[in-house]
């Protein structure tokens, strides 16, 4: 969670699944990822803080911590139509890994 002047500006979750499986809730599918990889999920920016770099700042902080502690790979998902999220993800250097469709 990122706070600005005591208000929640954005939030998201990170996890390192022990089984190397990414369970993609929106599509009901599962993706194999290297064991020890970090997953970033559920990132949002509250409406009044949008277009101020909150999304990128929050993910950057989490990724910097992960990589400084020896982490090597991170994965994040985005819905195809969420162009703001996809732009932020690409700005951070992520590239497409796969496309999953809802079942």
Class for domain 2-91, per CATH?
alpha beta
Domain-wise residue ranges, the chain: 2-91
User: Is pLDDT larger for residue 94 or for residue 81?
Assistant: 94
Angle at 47 between CA 45 and CA 53, to 5 degrees: 45
Q: Quote the pLDDT of residue 45.
A: 92
> Is the confidence at residue 4, as pLDDT, over 60?
yes
With 70 as the cut, is the pLDDT of residue 99 above it?
no
From the number of C-beta atoms within 10 Å of its C-beta (0-12, 13-18, 19+), residue 12 rates as: middle
Q: What is the pTM of this model?
A: 0.78
Per-residue pLDDT tens over the stretch 31-63: 888 888 998 888 889 999 998 989 899 999 999
């Amino acid at each position: 969670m990122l706070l600005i002047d005591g208000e929640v500006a954005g939030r998201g979750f990170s996890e390192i699944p022990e089984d190397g499986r990414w369970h993609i809730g929106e599509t009901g599918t599962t993706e194999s990822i290297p064991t020890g990889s970090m997953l970033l999920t559920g990132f949002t920016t509250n409406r009044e803080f949008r277009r101020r770099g909150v999304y990128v700042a929050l993910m950057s902080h989490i990724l910097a911590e992960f990589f400084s502690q020896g982490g090597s790979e991170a994965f994040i998902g985005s819905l195809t139509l969420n162009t703001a999220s996809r732009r932020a993800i690409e700005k951070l250097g992520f590239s497409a890994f796969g496309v999953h469709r809802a079942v």
